[in-house]
């Protein structure tokens, strides 16, 4: 199984057209390198630390226009895509910080809502998810999803492993100075739970926040298969064998 991690800046605040155009280009590049899955950063389609009211206005359900656009890209390129976006709260509350897996035929496979919100910035913008989403089956593999701070929680990674996940796909927006997450925590938890982890981080800045990059592909014994630097890159690596 080959994965592509799209380490990229967030789009200009709320510019979903810009984000989808960039995603289509990344998917084309990833497909040309025979990747099975492309993973975006957390909240890649709208921006992350943008005005909470603007973020709320951009929220969509899991089958909304953004999902349909991503499904078209997946079908056109024949690649699975895991992407981050704000999901509409069914009771009208703050949106969820969500990630969705769309298969290479455009099929919606799973949605995970971030459970472990990180600090005041998350709390101002999002409602927490209730539980870790169940793994999904694809291509003879069982894959889970987590978002950013979720992947640093031993109980969350263990729960996916308990449900049979072989690997975890992680959109993230880990900011400086928290390099300990990709460098230490993610490999350690992968080894402890015997799961691979594909950790796709943002880079660049939103306002005064700078994202750390260092997107990382880790095997199920904690071995680092590939790691990016700080700048924008499409990191492609063979992962599960």
- Give the up-direction half-sphere exposure of residue 109: CA atoms within 13 A in the CB hemisphere: 25
Give phi and psi for 59, each to the nearest 5: -65, 145
Q: Which residues pair with 233 in a beta bridge?
A: 7
Pairing of the two strands 96-102 and 80-87: antiparallel
Would you give the distance in Å from CA 239 to the centre of its chain? 16
The catalytic residue among 87, 94, 148, 203 is 148
Would you give the distance in Å from CA 110 to the centre of its chain? 12
Residue 114 designated active-site: yes
- For 32, the token pair is 């040309």
Residue 42 designated active-site: yes
- For 33, the token pair is 């390198």
The catalytic residue among 94, 114, 166, 193 is 114
Q: How far is Cα 233 from Cα 124, in angstroms, rounded to an integer?
A: 30
The catalytic residue among 42, 87, 152, 166 is 42
Residue 148 designated active-site: yes
Catalytic residues: 42, 114, 148
């Amino acid at each position: 199984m080959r994965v592509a991690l799209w380490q990229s800046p967030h789009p200009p605040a709320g510019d979903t057209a810009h984000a989808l155009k960039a995603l289509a280009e990344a998917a084309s590049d990833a497909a040309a390198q025979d990747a099975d899955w492309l993973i975006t950063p957390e909240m890649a389609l709208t921006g992350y630390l943008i005005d909470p009211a603007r973020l709320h206005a951009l929220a969509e359900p899991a089958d909304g226009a953004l999902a349909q656009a991503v499904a078209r890209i997946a079908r056109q390129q024949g690649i699975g895509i895991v992407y981050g976006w704000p999901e509409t709260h069914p009771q009208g509350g703050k949106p969820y910080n969500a990630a969705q897996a769309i298969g290479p035929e455009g099929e919606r496979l799973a949605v995970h809502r971030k459970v472990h919100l990180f600090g005041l910035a998350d709390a101002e913008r999002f409602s927490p998810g209730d539980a870790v989403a169940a793994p999904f089956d694809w291509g003879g593999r069982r894959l889970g999803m987590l978002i950013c701070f979720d992947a640093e929680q031993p109980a969350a990674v263990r729960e996916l492993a308990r449900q049979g996940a072989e690997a975890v796909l992680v959109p993230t927006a880990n900011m400086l100075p928290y390099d300990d997450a990709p460098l230490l925590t993610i490999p350690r938890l992968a080894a402890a739970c015997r799961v691979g982890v594909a950790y796709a981080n943002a880079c660049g800045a939103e306002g005064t926040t700078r994202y750390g990059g260092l997107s990382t592909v880790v095997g199920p014994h904690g071995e680092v298969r590939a790691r990016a630097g700080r700048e924008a890159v499409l990191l492609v690596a063979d992962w599960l064998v």
